[in-house]
Structure 1
């Protein structure tokens, strides 16, 4: 009865369009009440327990740091630097879109922040330059998915809290190669589309002094990922403390550039608080839902079912990837990650799949869900800021989506892409 209530209510409220955080909370509380033997206060305990975590404190810090860096005007500096490097190539603004997303990902760690920030700016630039507006929007949406892969990543922090077999630092390192592959795949796709449609780059290659000046302007933003990763790997501070350091750095930088007046600073803190509260609400509700899944022994039952189908590790990984991909189509990325990690993670471990390899597969898989209908929150952001029709945007993103799925296939087939860098630094088995 308990399991049926949980599943039926979760699916029903999701279909009705109830926000996913509340679908998990409603279904979880109803399942506990339907059981009759559990104290309903368990739901409150699990909610508070889910967010009472020292590593989770990194999330508000990284969110605030990204908002401060954006308010400092460093997005424009990154755009100038990217344009100086790749703007002369065929389809130059498309390549700028990819590169600036990779650079900004080292600051924000969020696909939505990337889409609403530099993604929206480059979309307008591409539209003025004569690119098809739907392709420009699709590329901005696709490149935004690099944000959760390249460190620092909010999703990586949440995953590390949900699975004690990995660390935040290990996951940050594991995302370096997949993030680079994702950028290269999207750049290659943009080149093919640009050749087919005659999209040109800037008239001339940037000269050395222009590149140097653009690099100097973007240097404060480029230093942020180095400070975070360098401090963590050097043992100077933890991932959570790295977030606090990032905030201090961004705040000092904004004050030094005279870009943060009192009114702007208050607006930055308000936006960061809004984003953080929504994330923590999802984490709290998903903690109840995830605990119930474990209580009902759903991971063990799934593992036994898979063991009855096959004992081949790669086949199991493909089955788990397919299941995660379907979930990513209908459930937002963050709650899907919190729900699936305690369910699928033990199954992967039972079949001998490296935890970092599985983590990257799952995070990349669910990140792709950010740009796939019917949920696709990044598509909705781009459609809103670009005033584009969602159905046309969904069609335009298909070749870019194929490129991302190809990268996912590489990550599944070659575990070394995810595990080599962490292993070099001692963060992998």
Structure 2
């Protein structure tokens, strides 16, 4: 019975995806079809509605629409150019300095906006014309922008880590946030290393020296934007407010900053911003509800135990198991968005890794990093397409320059996977 249910769920889900049905609807239909196989229609209909509603009944989920709204306000608030100017100062006078500025800008803006696509579009839109003017190849500029765009999904505050906390049974959001710093920064530094080597090879320009006066002025202009990170993370870590309340604070702060301080958002833009936020929230919440139903179906039919038994049958060596999981998650990430992948695979893999002693916080960072790689990988990486579009290059033109970045990012992934302290050092330092 369990095997038949697993096969039915997989086949229906795969067929719907191939037919181009949205992933949230594919999850709901395939789960309902499996429920019908296991129980009468009335019971299946009642259970599906109940499990979807229960899946949304979480205080932590309130943080998601707030962070979405905050990100959209930031995207429209003229913050990108100020962070780019600040990133220029931070990146210094290394060869390919504009490329390094792009990476630092993505790390900063992605952290604030919580979206790899927003970072790729906002920072890439500013940096790509500047790099082209300085003689940088379009494919080089686009590759740097794409490779560094997902760093903001790992460096907190991260809505993806909040989703993981929910589906993993309440893993500390504060610990997850702090655990993302070192892996996210290592990702960014690895991209900068490759960008530096290519810049040396092609003799790309070095930025002119910046005076202390200009550097100070640039920092002061960007400081209010950077302060958002300090307020939200500092407030959560310090116990002043929860992650959900921190998300609400982020909305208020970003609105005051964009509307009153930078004066880059007008009153007439507010309905459009709210509409975008509502639409995106509705999409994500339906996805969460459908995935909660799928998770219940898998648990009810014993599919996670079936997969655990299959994995254990291949090897009992934790190193081999983690390598298999990494490969599978990278493959999954190439055709599935991050949020549904987190919702589907966390309940499957988390019991396996905790069985051999892996910390749920460590696993959460590993899981998200794998799926972030898929975010910039063909065939459907959303940040890949956004970065290629804003860089005015085709996917074929940018994939080859991306290969060295994939290699170093994968090395960072392996380090994070097999050196737990890279994720756990900061949370443990603060007794979380």
TM bracket, shorter-chain basis:
over 0.9
Residue-by-residue CA offset, 1:142-167 (whole Å, 9 max, x unaligned) = 11110110000111010000112511
| 1:216 and 2:224 matched | no
TM-score w.r.t. structure 1 length? 0.95
- The two structures, once aligned, show a CA RMSD in angstroms of 1.5
| 1:150 corresponding residue in structure 2 | 155
From 407, 415, 418, the equivalent of 1:410 is 415
CA distance in 2, matches of 1:357, 1:315: 17
CA distance in 1, matches of 2:293, 2:18: 20
Q: Is the 8 A contact 2:6 2:303 kept in 1?
A: no
| 2:400 corresponding residue in structure 1 | 395
Deviation at 1:283, TM superposition (A): 1.3
CA distance in 2, matches of 1:49, 1:193: 51
From 365, 382, 387, the equivalent of 1:382 is 387
Query: Aligned with 2:375: secondary structure?
Result: helix
| 2:229 corresponding residue in structure 1 | 225
CA distance in 2, matches of 1:424, 1:400: 31
CA distance in 2, matches of 1:243, 1:300: 36
| 1:68 corresponding residue in structure 2 | 73
Which deviates the most, 219-228 or 78-87? Answer: 78-87
Matches within 5 A, 1:139-218: 139-164=144-169, 166-202=171-207, 204-218=208-222
Residue-by-residue CA offset, 1:392-425 (whole Å, 9 max, x unaligned) = 2222211111121111011012110001111111
CA distance in 1, matches of 2:51, 2:266: 40
CA distance in 1, matches of 2:197, 2:135: 17
Residue-by-residue CA offset, 1:19-60 (whole Å, 9 max, x unaligned) = 211211111111112323443221122222222221111111
Moved over 3 A (4+): none
CA distance in 1, matches of 2:328, 2:55: 25
| 1:24 corresponding residue in structure 2 | 27
Matches within 5 A, 1:229-378: 229-257=233-261, 258-378=263-383
Deviation at 1:12, TM superposition (A): 1.0
**Compared with structure 1, are the counterparts of its residues 287 and 82 closer, same or farther at alpha carbon in structure 2 (3 Å cutoff)?**
same
Deviation at 1:308, TM superposition (A): 3.0
CA distance in 1, matches of 2:256, 2:381: 36
CA distance in 1, matches of 2:285, 2:356: 32
CA distance in 2, matches of 1:243, 1:165: 18
Which deviates the most, 262-271 or 141-150? Answer: 262-271
Q: Is the 8 A contact 1:333 1:370 kept in 2?
A: yes
Deviation at 1:328, TM superposition (A): 1.2
CA distance in 2, matches of 1:5, 1:300: 17
CA distance in 1, matches of 2:133, 2:273: 29
Residue-by-residue CA offset, 1:184-237 (whole Å, 9 max, x unaligned) = 1011010011111221122x2211111100000000111111101110111110
Which deviates the most, 340-349 or 10-19? Answer: 10-19
Q: Which runs of 5+ in 1 are unaligned?
A: none
Q: Is the 8 A contact 2:32 2:44 kept in 1?
A: no
Q: Is the 8 A contact 1:169 1:232 kept in 2?
A: yes
**Compared with structure 1, are the counterparts of its residues 217 and 275 closer, same or farther at alpha carbon in structure 2 (3 Å cutoff)?**
same
Matches within 5 A, 1:58-97: 58-86=63-91, 88-97=93-102
Deviation at 1:347, TM superposition (A): 0.8
Aligned pairs, number: 426
TM-score w.r.t. structure 2 length? 0.95
CA distance in 2, matches of 1:8, 1:373: 23
